[in-house]
């Protein structure tokens, strides 16, 4: 049977855990703002770059694509999946949901698959699923750390595609929903082929004035392509971090609710046990009084 001292220890431990959960909840709520702001800013920048590429393709349609592509050296296709996960826990099903989504999507593609992961937790999850990631990039917890991470991924992926090793590079990440929660999305980053070009030709120019490209069309297009790839990866990383903190905030809210229910239960148990002890002491006093009364 539990004693009052034991229940008091449980109450103290639950209060300490509640303080930790509140701190993590506040940190997650504060981090969401900066990442969501970065996503919104990149969305407008990404749109501007896409319109610039559209202008380059529309001014002088050509089948010659300025991006270098080497011939394929593999008989079987090889696809690379860049998966943005998390380095820290307490995020609910954040990594599990995205890993299952990536595996299901890649299962429909012919050929072999190779995984590059961002975040240690995602690497462990993929290992549990039977995949063996070949590259693991550390995830930075601040907006300033996204740029060097994205640059490193972009350099490696472009080198592999131009060498002919990869047939395609796909980026998987979670992005916040309009209301609450997040959803898993995928975007084909490379190669920049004719199918990719048609996506930009399908865009509608926002004004009635036709665009014109000043200077070298090829140089301008190459610069826009580099910025497009960088912005795409940056946006995916920022959206993933925003979703991660949103998932952690939701998990902390559930944990806080569970702790409050536990505290209510322990307090009720404490007062019930304390009242029982008081009743026993009163019963002993009354019994002693009755015994003394009978002797007299």
pLDDT (average), residues 84-98? 90
Q: Is 282 domain-assigned?
A: no
Q: Is 100 domain-assigned?
A: yes
At residue 131 the predicted structure's pLDDT band, cuts being 50, 70 and 90, is: very high
Please report the pLDDT score of residue 96 as a whole number.
94
3-state secondary structure 7-50: HHHHHHHHHHHHHHHHHHHHHHHHHHHHHHHHHHHHHHHHHHHH
At residue 234 the predicted structure's pLDDT band, cuts being 50, 70 and 90, is: very high
Q: Which residue range is the domain that position 163 belongs to?
A: 28-250
Q: Is 18 domain-assigned?
A: no
Q: Is 271 domain-assigned?
A: no
Q: Is 201 domain-assigned?
A: yes
Higher pLDDT, 179 or 23: 23
Question: Who contacts 2 (Cβ-Cβ below 8 Å, separation ≥6)?
Answer: 269, 273
Other residues' Cβ atoms within 10 Å of the Cβ of residue 11: 16
- Tokens 């109450």: give the residue: 11
pLDDT per residue as tens digits for the range 176-199: 887 778 999 999 988 888 878 888
Q: Is 96 domain-assigned?
A: yes
Please report the pLDDT score of residue 63 as a whole number.
44
Please report the pLDDT score of residue 69 as a whole number.
46
Please report the pLDDT score of residue 170 as a whole number.
95
Would you give the end-to-end CA distance of the chain in angstroms?
39
At residue 296 the predicted structure's pLDDT band, cuts being 50, 70 and 90, is: low
Helix, strand, coil percent content, the chain, rounded in steps of 5: 65, 10, 25
Other residues' Cβ atoms within 10 Å of the Cβ of residue 262: 16
Q: State the Cα–Cα distance between residues 105 and 173, nearest whole angstrom.
A: 13
- Selection from 109, 125, 228, 221 nearest residue 170 by Cα: 109
- Selection from 82, 77, 190 nearest residue 134 by Cα: 82
Split into its structural domains, the chain has a count of: 1
Angle (CA) 78-236-188 rounded to 5° is 30
Length of the chain equals 296
Higher pLDDT, 126 or 206: 126
Q: Is 212 domain-assigned?
A: yes
pLDDT per residue as tens digits for the range 150-185: 999 999 988 888 888 888 899 999 998 877 789 999
Distance of CA 276 to the CA centre of its chain: 51
Please report the pLDDT score of residue 62 as a whole number.
52
pLDDT per residue as tens digits for the range 54-84: 888 876 655 445 444 444 445 678 999 999 9
Angle (CA) 143-131-100 rounded to 5° is 65
Please report the pLDDT score of residue 113 as a whole number.
93
User: The domain spanning residue 188 has which CATH number?
Assistant: 3.40.1380.10
Please report the pLDDT score of residue 64 as a whole number.
41
Q: What is the largest CA-CA distance in the chain?
A: 119
Token pair recorded at residue 167? 């047939």
Question: What phi and psi, each to the nearest 5 degrees, are found at residue 221?
Answer: -65, -40
Question: What phi and psi, each to the nearest 5 degrees, are found at residue 178?
Answer: -65, -40
Percent of the chain predicted with pLDDT > 90? 32
Q: Is 260 domain-assigned?
A: no
DSSP states along 86-144: -SSS--TTHHHHHHHHHHHHHHTSSSEEEEEEESHHHHHHHHHTT---SEEEPPPSSGG
27-31, 113-117, 236-240, 288-292: lowest mean pLDDT where? 288-292
pLDDT per residue as tens digits for the range 208-224: 887 777 777 778 888 88
- Tokens 């303080």: give the residue: 19
Please report the pLDDT score of residue 71 as a whole number.
45
Higher pLDDT, 83 or 253: 83
Mean pLDDT of the chain: 85
Report whether pLDDT(30) > 90.
no
Please report the pLDDT score of residue 75 as a whole number.
64
């Amino acid at each position: 049977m539990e004693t009052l001292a034991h229940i008091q220890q449980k109450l103290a431990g639950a209060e300490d855990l509640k303080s930790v959960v509140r701190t993590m909840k506040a940190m997650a709520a504060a981090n969401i703002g900066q990442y969501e702001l970065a996503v919104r800013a990149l969305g407008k920048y990404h749109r501007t770059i896409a319109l610039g590429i559209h202008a380059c393709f529309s001014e002088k349609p050509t089948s010659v694509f300025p991006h270098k592509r080497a011939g394929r050296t593999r008989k079987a296709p090889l696809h690379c999946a860049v998966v943005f996960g998390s380095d820290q826990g307490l995020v609910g099903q954040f990594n599990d949901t995205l890993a299952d989504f990536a595996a299901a999507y890649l299962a429909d593609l012919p050929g072999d698959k190779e995984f590059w992961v961002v975040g240690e937790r995602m690497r462990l999850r993929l290992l549990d699923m039977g995949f063996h990631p070949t590259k693991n990039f550390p995830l930075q917890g601040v907006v300033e750390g996204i740029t060097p991470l994205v640059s490193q991924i972009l350099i490696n992926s472009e080198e592999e595609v131009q060498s002919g090793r990869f047939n395609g590079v796909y980026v998987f990440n979670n992005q916040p929903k309009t209301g609450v929660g997040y959803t898993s999305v995928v975007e084909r980053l490379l190669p920049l082929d004719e199918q990719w070009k048609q996506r930009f030709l399908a865009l509608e120019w926002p004004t009635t004035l036709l665009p014109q490209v000043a200077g070298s069309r090829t140089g301008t297009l190459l610069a826009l392509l580099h910025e497009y790839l960088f912005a795409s990866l940056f946006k995916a990383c920022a959206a993933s971090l925003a979703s991660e903190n949103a998932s952690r905030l939701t998990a902390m809210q559930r944990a806080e609710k569970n702790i409050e229910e536990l505290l209510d239960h322990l307090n009720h148990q404490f007062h019930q046990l304390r009242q029982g002890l008081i009743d026993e002491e009163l019963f002993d006093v009354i019994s002693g009084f009755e015994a003394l009364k009978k002797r007299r």
